Each structure stands twice: as structure tokens, then as C-alpha cells.
Chains A and B, each alone.
Chain A
Amino acid sequence: EVQLVQSGAEVKKPGESLKISCKGSGYDFTNYWIGWVRQMPGKGLEWMGLIYPGDSDTRYSPSFQGQVTLSADKSINTAYLQWSSLRASDSAIYYCVRGGGHWGQGTLVTVSS
């Protein structure tokens, strides 16, 4: 069974860094891209970008280029989304999704002073 399991909710202060994860199981992790999606409170889905874990080829949405970093460690079947300096406006639920459409359960990120 294909599963994507994301790391737990985070509460951070503005300016702090953060790395959240998405662990895949039940399939060859290197054969499918992993995408990241933002959903701000009460809003729609926003595509952030994707990564191919096999070679770490990364494609960012222009809106998120330079704002976040996608990475992956294929040795542990895990993809990451990270921020170097969080803002209050980064508060949202973040989902990972695999090529073909299997979703993680989401990670709630709250950034507040």
C-alpha cells in the first residue's frame, strides 16, 4: 500500500528556520515525483513545486522560487520542505503529494510571535 506520512504540526516564531518531511512507503521512492502544496486558512490549494527523488531534480513554482527549498534523501525515502526564515504569512497546512496522486495527511505550520 502506497503511503505518504508527514511530520507533525509545528509552531515557530518569525525568523526561525523549519524543515518538514514526507516519508514514502509501499513503492519505489525514486520513480515518482513528490510535490508540495500550500493551503492557507480558508483558501485554495497552491502548487509550490516538485522534486524527483532519484536525482533531486527540482521544479519550483515562480511564486515560491527562492522562498523555500525542496530536497530529498532517497536512502530513507523522505522528501523535505524547508524555510530559512519563516514569516507569519507562511502559516498554513502543507501537503506532499506523489506523482499519480497519493497525498500525505498534511502538516500544520503556525508562525506567530
Chain B
Amino acid sequence: QAVVTQEPSLTVSPGGTVTLTCGSSTGAVTSTHYPYWFQQKPGQAPRTLIYDTNNKHSWTPARFSGSLLGGKAALTLSGAQPEDEAEYYCLLFYSGLRGLFGGGTKLTVL
């Protein structure tokens, strides 16, 4: 089975920019993996920030964007706010629409 990899932890300064990545052990991540990005804060259900690589929901803050970068899916946060401190998960879909989460990235805004 494939493995989806994320940075275990990242730190960004308030107002700064950070990119979280999501890689696949099977090779380059493409749009056919339909990458999703979720944010989860302690004690809360996850919420979707990005789906299908770069599509946002109405509740997705404009400072978040999704893309493909260097063979990985990427979530870029431009202008970090204290409330962005959270765990971030990516989800990729493989052949037969079998999904697989990454291990999550703990983002600290400091």
C-alpha cells in the first residue's frame, strides 16, 4: 500500500508564509489523486480547506491556497494568523478511489 507523507511539524511567524506538502510513495502527486486538505483544531471535527487540488469552500480563508508543486500537493498559507495554529491533513485518492491520509502536519504560529 502507498504511503502519504507530510512534514510532522512546521512553524510560521504571524503574517508569514508557509507551504505544507503532501507526497506519495508511488511517485508524483497529480490532479488524478484529487488532493484534499483539512484543518483540525483540538476537540473539533476536521474542516475542509481545499478539495480537488485547488478548489476552496465558501468558508476557506483567502490566505489558504492549494496547488501541485514539485511532484507533491501543496497547501500555502500566506499571512498566517494565530487562529491558523492547528493540525493539517492531506488526503489522496488512488486507483479505485481508495483514499489515504497523510500523517498530519502540526502547524505552530509563533
Residues of A within 8 A of B (CB): 33, 35, 37, 44-47, 49-50, 59-63, 95, 97, 100-106
Contacts and interface: CB of A to CB of B under 8 A. Distances in A.
Contacts of B98: 47, 49, 59-62
Given A62-B1, A95-B45, 4 more contacts: A37-B46, A59-B96, A59-B98, A62-B98
Interface stretch (B21-29, B76-84, B99-107): B99-107
Contact of B91 (A47, A59, A63, A105): A47
Contacts, number: 55
Interface of B: 1, 36, 38, 40, 45-48, 51, 57, 87, 89, 91, 96-101, 103-104
Give the secondary structure class of B's interface.
strand
B15 to A, nearest CB: 27
Contacts of B1: 62-63
Contact of B104 (A35, A44, A47, A95): A44
Contacts of A61: 98-100
